[in-house]
Amino acid sequence: MNVVSILNIYKDDIIVNSHVTIRGWVKSCRNSKLGLSFISIYDGSYIESIQVIAKNTLSNYDTDILRLTTGCSVIVSGKLILSIGNQQKYEIQLNNIQVIGWIENPDTYPVSAKKHSMEHLRKVAHLRSRTNLIGAISRIRNHLMQSLHRFFDKNYYFWIPTPIITTLNAEGAGDMFRVSTLDMHNIPKNIDGSVNFKKDFFGKESFLTVSGQLNIETYACALSKVYTFGPTFRAENSNTVRHLAEFWMLEVESAFSDLNDILDFAECMLKYISKYILKNCLSDINFLQKHVNEHIIVGLEKLLFSNYIRIDYTDVINILSESKIQFKESIILGNNLSSEHERFIVDKYFKKPVIIKNYPKELKAFYMRLNNDNKTVAAMDLLVPNIGELIGGSQREERISILDQRLLELRLKKEDYWWYRDLRRYGTVPHAGFGMGFERLLSYITGVSNIRDLIPFPRTVNNANF
């Protein structure tokens, strides 16, 4: 039995007129008065389904084929031929069909063969991968992950797993999920009424990580070039199309590197993956361009062929101030740029990827390297059209005296970062790195604006279903 996938048929040049076996699900079934049934089958391997032609002379035509509905799982065997119709390239002349799973009630099947809203599909996340849209996103997501691993391997970076559970906040702020085994109905207390975390599993207050950066810095200071890629968590009460409570983050760290080195590297990475996706996912990209966003390929080509603009934060403030645009948020030197400010810079002013660097130190985390002016830090944000910030990074502060001063300024406990400070005490080196939200990159590539549709089971405010 020559079992093949639909991807094999379209990509591997399987010989026409050979006998093949396909395993998948029924997308649609149309029965004609001429004693023929036209069954469209998909298996998730490719954006295209394949048409199977069944004659009423088959032994189970009346008992099985005429009962088929959308979603039934089947194994079909027959001769692969070139289609005489213009709707598809290939079709299969059916010799045998085995129905593996029936749909109990076709009228209530949540992903029936009609157009469904994204809101409806989020309610049936366990089945939405059967739709063309989520299938295309899932295949691109897989290839995107593969492209990143390939890129780092080609550049001699080592992948380092970093802990999901941590006692530190890499961002020096709140918005963390607590990890605890304490009985919430009988919480142990200290004499002063505070929670006695010594009774907890780890003996101290613990959280789900917001970043693996501090951990991979330790390995960069031994293996030189490292990265980590995994889930991170933010307890932000933001119910928007841009926020998830659980998302995937790529984080990169390189020893003996400065800010300019990682700017070059980040740009090189985005160009590599754009080329990879255009080469390996073109069928899915074309589908999304037709049904979701007609500018997807143009967007990928901007990443691939543009010379990325590099500009200081102060120069961006000047551009915004002189633009004569009435922004909702005020433009003030020393304040964070709002999303509308970033969108103007990248979408309207430069119309290509933009890297903003050298931010005021008050806006950035304690670990970012203080510049010679003692006012700014060697930090950067990489913005892309229609998305805004995609990558954030910096050169790290390798001088322990300045690092300690920054911890003091931000009211962080030096003793909590004892091991992080050791990197500066024992053979310190200049090093730099960046982080990139994987789903944000996927949003840019697919043109899908709601980040909840880019991860299989989204975790958001009041939503942890499935």
What Cα–Cα distance (Å) separates residue 91 from each residue in 6, 47, 247?
11, 15, 40
For residue 432, what is the enclosing H or E element? strand 431-437
Residues 152 and 93 in one domain: no
Domain assignment present for 197: no
pLDDT at 236: 86
pLDDT at 241: 85
CA–CA separation, 129 and 141 (whole Å): 13
Residues 253 and 353 in one domain: yes
Domain assignment present for 338: yes
Contacts of residue 443, defined as CB under 8 A and 6 or more positions apart, other chains included, come to: 387, 449, 451, 454
pLDDT in tens, 126-180: 999 999 999 999 999 999 999 999 999 999 999 999 999 998 776 654 589 999 9
pLDDT at 359: 98
pLDDT at 238: 81
What Cα–Cα distance (Å) separates residue 114 from each residue in 30, 107, 109, 111, 283?
15, 12, 11, 8, 22
Yes or no: say if 370 and 379 are a contact pair by the CB < 8 Å rule. Answer: no
Residues 343 and 230 in one domain: yes
Q: What is the CATH number of the domain that holds 55?
A: 2.40.50.140
pLDDT at 175: 86
Residue 75 belongs to domain spanning: 6-114
Among 114, 146, 164, residue at a domain's last position: 114
Residues 262 and 139 in one domain: yes
pLDDT at 174: 56
Residues 169 and 86 in one domain: no
pLDDT at 87: 80
Domain assignment present for 160: yes
The stretches in the chain having pLDDT less than 50 are 173
Would you list the DSSP string of 176-218? --EE--S-TTS--B-TTS-B-GGGSTTSS-EEE-S-SHHHHHH
Residues 423 and 395 in one domain: yes
For the chain, the C-alpha Rg in angstroms (whole number) is 27
Going by C-alpha positions, the residue among 396, 434, 420 that lies closest to residue 258 is 396
pLDDT at 14: 85
Domain count, the chain: 2
Contacts of residue 334, defined as CB under 8 A and 6 or more positions apart, other chains included, come to: 360, 362, 363
Residues 227 and 317 in one domain: yes
